[in-house]
Amino acid sequence: MPRLLASAALLALSALAAPVIAQTATPDTVDADTVTAAVDSAAAAVTAARRDSIEAILALRARAQASYEEGSELLQAEDYEGALIRFDDGIAVFPESVGNTYGRAFALAQLGRDEDAVAGFLRAAELGEVAGDTAAVRLANTSREGIVSRRLAAVGPVYDQVDALMVDVPPTSEAGTQALALLESVDDQALRDIGYHYRWSRALNAAERFADAAEHAEHAIDLSTHEADRSAYYYEFGVSLRGMGQAGPARDAFEQARTGAWAAWADYQLASMGTPVD
């Protein structure tokens, strides 16, 4: 805000001062009083513009806060549809409102719209980080994780069946096809975590759908930056790339897989590609 205001002040000063000077004197006869008057006039205009801008922002914040309070009251009354409307109103006037964004996600969760709720909690956490509100970030992340954990518990038995089918290395094509049928029954945006993408990549590789498998393997890699051992994800990515005929990138992926528990299988793949293994 200060930088924007400073820029605005310079622009306003240039725009306002020039006409005044031009009307009152030639370049050879400009005096100090004329310049001072022009500068004072420009400064007053900038101050007024700044005051109007701040007042406008405060008014929007006040409207958003009113929507948040009304929405919160409706949540307590278990009127989740009504609360959703009020939170949407608050976001419409002030999109950066952490409270309305979180309240909206909470209402969506109560209405059973888990996927939308998860996206909403992620957005609330992002806004909280920008605002420096660590409590809001923690609350939003905890709420999102609660939904994901609940839904994962519900699909746990299905994942167990998938893991049992994919226990062999490499899995058979038949096992991959059966695993895909199971995974399709629980395809859920809210559950698209590392384990979800890894299982899909293995099943798709087994079914020789390498391009699709590569996409899921990349997602698993991107989501696993905090994990110490990411070799399994790189291994599946390498299998996908090799199946797509991309030998160079496949070797790179297998080299990454050599840094963890899947090193032996990565060495096997590299050797079968004619790459010397130290």
The per-residue pLDDT for range 65-88, each reduced to its tens digit, is: 999 999 999 999 999 999 999 999
Tens digits of per-residue pLDDT, 36-58? 766 666 666 667 667 667 777 77
pLDDT at 185 over 90: no
Q: What is the DSSP letter of 185?
A: T
Contact between 90 and 68 under an 8 Å Cβ cutoff? The reply is yes
Contact between 117 and 105 under an 8 Å Cβ cutoff? The reply is yes
Tens digits of per-residue pLDDT, 141-159? 999 888 878 877 777 888 8
What pTM did the predictor assign?
A: 0.54
E strand or H helix at 165: helix 134-165
pLDDT at 266 over 50: yes
Tens digits of per-residue pLDDT, 155-180? 788 889 999 999 988 899 999 999 99
Q: How far is CA 166 from the centre of its chain?
A: 31
pLDDT for the residue numbered 16:
33
* C-alpha–C-alpha distance, residues 197 and 214, integer Å: 10
**Closest to 219 in 3D by CA, of 243, 191, 247, 245:** 191
pLDDT for the residue numbered 17:
37
Q: Which residue has the higher pLDDT, 191 or 145?
A: 145
- Specify the residue for token string 């089918």: 165
Judged by average pLDDT, the poorest of 17-31, 43-57, 132-146 is 17-31
Q: Which residue has the higher pLDDT, 153 or 5?
A: 153
Domains and CATH numbers, the chain: 166-272 (1.25.40.10)
Read off φ and ψ for residue 187, nearest 5 degrees.
Answer: -60, 120
Quickly state the pLDDT bin for 195 (edges 50, 70, 90). confident
Q: Which amino acid is at 64?
A: A
